[in-house]
Amino acid sequence: MTSIDLLFLAIALSMDAFAVSICKGLASKEGHIKTGLVCGIWFGLFQALMPALGWLLGSSVAGYVNKYSAYIAFVLLAFLGIKMIVEAVREYLEDKKAASEGICNCSSKDEKNASLGFKVMLVFAIATSIDALAAGLSFAAMEANIFIAVSFIGVTTFLFSFVGSALGAKIGGKFQYKAEIAGGVILLCIGAKILIEHILELIAK
């Protein structure tokens, strides 16, 4: 996996955190800088920890699956990408349906999104970083440098979360679903690239 691939992967994995940070910025009653820092630290930390955990779990069996590493990486990344797209579309349709029926869950959502408390942020941080755990398994299969990988992912997520909270305060949740869908598409493209490169290598042999 090249540095460019890793950067795009980090951006894709940060999209969930970016979308949640937009909601936080929209609903938060705290200062924008404080909200951005809290979101960035929580989400960046967990997005770095989860792939490291996935790598540790995957490393124990990596020796047995090296020759299938490209296929494993493709399946994992494609699964994550499709999952992100499907969830974003589902949430969008649910919100659109509720709006058309005159039902508004905004008050309850905003109340939860506004909180920067430990329990709320812990739940959000875990929920937005589960995908990174699976990505860590693919790092083990591809024998990627885990220190560089988690650094890319953690820093990228911190920056996107900080910017997302600021955007949320300015433009609201207008781009929330688009960000999640974009992240899913990026993951699919990375997975396809890895698989195609592997197939081309086999053909060249």
Q: At what angle do helices 118-142 and 146-171 cross, to 10 degrees?
A: 140
Contacts of 43 (CB under 8 A, 6+ apart): 14, 17, 20, 21, 124, 125, 128, 129, 157, 158, 161
Q: Which residue segment(s) compose the domain that 129 sits in?
A: 3-204
* Separation of CA 12 from chain center: 6
pLDDT band at 162 (very low <50, low <70, confident <90, very high): very high
| HSE value, Cβ hemisphere, 13 Å, CA-based, for 28 | 27
Structure tokens at 197: 């490169």
179, 21 Cβ separation under 8 angstroms: no
Q: Number of folded domains in the chain? A: 1
What are 71-127's pLDDT values in tens digits? 877 887 788 788 878 888 888 888 788 777 765 544 444 444 557 888 888 888 888
Supply the pLDDT for residue 48: 94
pLDDT band at 45 (very low <50, low <70, confident <90, very high): very high
Rounded Cα–Cα distance for residues 182 and 185 (Å): 5
Q: Which amino acid is at 34?
A: K
Share of the chain above pLDDT 90, in %: 14
The H or E element containing residue 67 is none
| Entry pTM | 0.68
Burial class (CB within 10 angstroms; exposed 0-12, middle 13-18, buried 19+) of 48: buried
Helix/strand/coil for 104: coil
